[in-house]
Amino acid sequence: MVDILLLLAPPVHWLFSDGQATIWYFLVANALVTLSLFGLWMTRDADEEATP
């Protein structure tokens, strides 16, 4: 949900819509989403499947 808000919410786009802030917005927001995947991986349900 946080990932979607960061990258999709129009007010966030409008907040960083001018100047070099646009570049840093995209870089930082996408870096955070990348890191969130590692968080998801660490907290996934370990019992989801049997070990091959």
**Site for another protein, rule CB under 8 A:** 3-4, 7-10, 13-14, 16-20, 22-23, 26-27, 29-31, 33-34, 36-38, 40-41, 44, 48-50, 52
Q: Residue 32 corresponds to which tokens in the numbers above?
A: 């955070």
Minimum CB distance to another protein, residue 2 (Å): 10
Minimum CB distance to another protein, residue 6 (Å): 9
The region, left, alpha or beta by phi > 0 then psi within -120 to 50, assigned to residue 44 is beta
The set of long-range contacts for 10-17, using a CB threshold of 8 Å and a minimum separation of 24, is none
Q: Of how many residues is the chain composed?
A: 52
Minimum CB distance to another protein, residue 34 (Å): 4
